[in-house]
Amino acid sequence: MTHIPVLQEEVVKYLDPKPNENFIDCTVGEGGHASAILEKNGPKGKVLGIDKKLRLKPRERLILAEDNFADLKNIIEKYKFGPVHGILFDLGMSSWHLEESGRGFSFKRKEPLDMRFDAKGFLLTAEKIVNYWSKFEIEKILQDYGEEKKAERIAQRIIEARNLRPIANTLQLAEIIKKAGAFPQQTFQALRIAVNDELNNLSKALPQAVQILEPGGRLAVISFHSLEDRIVKKFFAARGEDPSFILLTKKPIVPDFGEIRANPRSRSAKLRAIKKP
């Protein structure tokens, strides 16, 4: 499947890369945004691309780090990368994770209930949550991370199903959710967020990003659900109380109809950007 970077033109506009400036793509994925930046920041500007599971290979002016962006400061120290003029977080899942990883991110095909972006060092899986966590714990993550209105009913159905046999794969879980009268997407989102500690990682990374940026540097974040966007909005609003910071997007930038038609997964994307004094 062809990878289509979300809001690519808008990312380039708000990061505004100039020749010889350096940037960090904290979720480099297939490299779409990084490539667009590299077209603008030559001949000596570089991009540090970070991802928990790299699928790219290093090339001229592109440095790659297989790591968690929650450890951003240590990563740039390790690679001696800087000065940093712009940082991007694209918090969406790549097509590779959904279509090729085999880790159970999609409820449309039969796969193990893993949902880890990176299996190294991470012991928690979605299979462990649905088979061993209490009803209260499952209900809470469905409410908190999936904003699922039928969380209690789904949690009860999960308990009843696992008492008969272990819940082992995605199709089995999806069927349980449907029997509870719900659509699987929100439950799968909640499990993925819990397994990968996504919201905590974002909350840890944003202050580091602002600290790392050079004066005049720009930070852009693309979120895909309200929980992420709420964290970004609150963080940017707090920076905006300092008149020396400039909110580049008073309202989030969203894809136009043409982009949504070409890439339906972009429909929930929201881009926010800020400029450091």
Give burial (CB, 10 Å; 0-12/13-18/19+) of 233: middle
Residue 11, C-beta contacts closer than 8 angstroms, at least 6 positions apart? 5, 33, 36, 88, 90, 220, 222, 271
pLDDT value of residue 2 = 47
pLDDT value of residue 224 = 95
**Could you tell me where in the chain the CATH 3.40.50.150 domains are found?**
8-96+199-275
Q: Are strands 62-66 and 47-51 parallel, antiparallel or unpaired?
A: parallel
Is pLDDT of 186 > 50?
yes
* pTM of the shown model: 0.93
Homologous superfamily assigned to 101-197: Putative methyltransferase TM0872, insert domain (1.10.150.170)
- How many Å apart are CA 114 and CA 100, to the nearest integer? 13
**Could you tell me where in the chain the CATH 1.10.150.170 domains are found?**
101-197
Q: What is the pLDDT of residues 86-136, one digit of tens each?
A: 999 999 876 666 777 788 999 999 999 999 988 776 689 999 999 999 999
Q: Which CA distances in Å does 101 have to 116, 124, 195, 221, 238?
A: 10, 17, 16, 24, 37
Given the candidates 3.20.20.70, 3.40.190.10, 3.40.50.150, 3.90.550.10, the CATH classification of the domain at 8-96+199-275 is: 3.40.50.150
Angle between helices 151-164 and 135-146 (to 10 degrees): 140
Q: What is the pLDDT of residues 130-182, one digit of tens each?
A: 999 999 999 999 999 999 999 999 999 999 999 999 999 999 999 999 999 99
- How many Å apart are CA 10 and CA 150, to the nearest integer? 36
Q: Are strands 23-25 and 47-51 parallel, antiparallel or unpaired?
A: parallel
Q: What is the pLDDT of residues 12-23, one digit of tens each?
A: 999 999 999 999
pLDDT value of residue 84 = 98
- How many Å apart are CA 244 and CA 239, to the nearest integer? 9
Q: What is the pLDDT of residues 213-265, one digit of tens each?
A: 999 999 999 999 999 999 999 999 998 777 779 999 999 999 999 999 998 88
